[in-house]
């Protein structure tokens, strides 16, 4: 008796066990669990104060509201008052933008010159000179500001006595801090002196990665030091210059200590206020916390725009 053939069923490939949904969720959640402590600290230290400032900027909040614990919501009135103020457009914003532009240009230029000088030194002397340069960066902004104020003191300052000794000025008759240009010139010297070491060390690190063969080839082609800098150094270190320029811009836009601690910068000379000082004066000297918060929010938005440019620059360089 012939065996009855068994009909062939549909062919199936090998089957693999599907990962359980709980395992998938655990893999997704694990990075967030590792980041949770840091994100919690950032939320407490940054997000909550920032949110509080934004909330205050929509209120008429002064000492009375602070003592009573009440709120007085007024919407966008604080922003309308700030943006509609002629003082913002004629004094504060030009001071903020102009001062930052001068400081950034001077800081990057001086830092680059120092980096080029350090590159020419032997390794040992480069370490010694680099350490000496970093002392300026290590000095707190408060200490550095008082040193520069002492140097230009109208009566006993070292610079005042030196210029008086050579007959350029009459000692005791010139007050550098009353003049808007003189005030910001001293503040710019302070900021540049404090900021150029970062640029110098960063640019030096980039210079040490440039192959010597590029400079040798440019020299053989007849290029001088200036042409070698513009046609070899600058194109090669373009990402480095972009980073130090944007970071210096962020720092110099929010300068506060170097302005506030100088004579007149703490509130008596309204011609030298920038956004940071104006916000502080409105909040803590005038008791207008809502108006000061609105100014602070505008400064934060300005800094966020600059930070966005900085991040886009970094990502663009990583893609190259």
CB contact burial 13-23 (16+ within 10 A = b; e otherwise): eeeeeeeeeee
- State residue 1's pLDDT score: 47
* Residue 206 DSSP code: H
Which whole-number Å values give the CA distances from 144 to 249, 265, 268, in the listed order?
20, 15, 21
Provide CB contacts within 8 A for 223, sequence distance 6+.
Answer: 231, 232
Tens digit of each residue's pLDDT (9 = 90 or more) over 33-85: 888 888 888 888 888 888 888 999 999 888 888 788 788 889 899 999 999 99
CATH top class, domain 77-319? mainly alpha
Provide CB contacts within 8 A for 126, sequence distance 6+.
Answer: 118, 119
The burial of 252, by beta-carbon neighbours within 10 Å (0-12 exposed, 13-18 middle, 19 or more buried), is given as: buried
- State residue 27's pLDDT score: 80
Given a contact cutoff of 8 angstroms between Cβ atoms, the answer to whether 199 and 248 are in contact is: yes
Provide φ and ψ at 104, rounded to 5°: -65, -45
Q: Residue 245 above 70 pLDDT?
A: yes
Q: Residue 2 above 70 pLDDT?
A: no
Tens digit of each residue's pLDDT (9 = 90 or more) over 101-121: 999 999 999 999 999 999 888
Q: How far apart are CA 182 and CA 287, in angstroms?
A: 30
- Give the 3-state secondary structure of 210-274: CCHHHHHHHHHCCCCHHHHHHHHHHHHCHHHHHHHHHHHHHHHHCCCHHHHCCCCCCCCCHHHCC
Tens digit of each residue's pLDDT (9 = 90 or more) over 254-268: 899 999 999 988 888
How large is the average pLDDT for residues 197-226?
85
* Residue 148 DSSP code: H
Is pLDDT larger for residue 6 or for residue 314? 314
Q: How far apart are CA 203 and CA 244, in angstroms?
A: 8
Q: Residue 159 above 50 pLDDT?
A: yes
The percent of residues in the chain predicted with pLDDT above 90, rounded, is 35
Q: How far apart are CA 125 and CA 12, in angstroms?
A: 75
How large is the average pLDDT for residues 163-178?
83
The count of residues in the chain is 320
The burial of 189, by beta-carbon neighbours within 10 Å (0-12 exposed, 13-18 middle, 19 or more buried), is given as: middle
- State residue 193's pLDDT score: 92
Q: Residue 294 above 80 pLDDT?
A: yes
The model's confidence at residue 212, banded by pLDDT at 50, 70 and 90, is: confident
């Amino acid at each position: 008796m012939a065996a009855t053939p068994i009909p062939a069923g549909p062919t199936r490939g090998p089957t693999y066990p599907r990962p359980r949904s709980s395992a998938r969720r655990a893999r997704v959640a694990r990075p967030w669990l590792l980041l949770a402590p840091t994100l919690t600290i950032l939320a407490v230290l940054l997000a909550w104060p920032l949110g509080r400032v934004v909330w205050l900027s929509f209120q008429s909040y002064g000492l009375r509201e602070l003592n009573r614990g009440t709120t007085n919501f007024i919407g966008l009135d604080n922003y309308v008052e700030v943006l509609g103020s002629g003082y913002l457009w004629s004094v504060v914003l030009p001071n903020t933008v102009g001062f930052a532009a001068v400081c950034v240009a001077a800081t990057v230029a001086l830092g680059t010159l120092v980096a080029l000088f350090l590159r020419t030194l032997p390794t040992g002397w480069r370490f010694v000179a680099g350490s000496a340069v970093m002392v300026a960066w290590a000095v707190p902004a408060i200490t550095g500001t008082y040193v520069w104020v002492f140097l230009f003191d109208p009566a006993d300052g070292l610079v005042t006595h030196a210029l008086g000794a050579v007959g350029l000025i009459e000692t005791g008759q010139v007050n550098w801090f009353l003049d808007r240009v003189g005030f910001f010139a001293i503040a710019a010297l302070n900021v540049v002196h404090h900021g150029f070491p970062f640029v110098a060390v960063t640019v030096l690190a980039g210079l040490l990665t440039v192959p010597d063969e590029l400079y040798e080839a440019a020299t053989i082609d007849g290029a001088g030091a200036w042409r070698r800098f513009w046609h070899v150094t600058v194109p090669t270190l373009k990402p480095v210059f972009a980073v130090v320029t944007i970071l210096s811009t962020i720092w110099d836009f929010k300068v506060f200590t170097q302005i506030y601690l100088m004579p007149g910068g703490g509130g008596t000379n309204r011609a030298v206020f920038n956004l940071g000082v104006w916000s502080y004066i409105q909040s803590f000297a005038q008791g207008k916390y809502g108006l000061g918060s609105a100014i602070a929010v505008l400064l934060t938005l300005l800094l966020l725009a600059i930070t966005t440019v900085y991040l886009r620059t970094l990502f663009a360089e990583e893609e190259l």
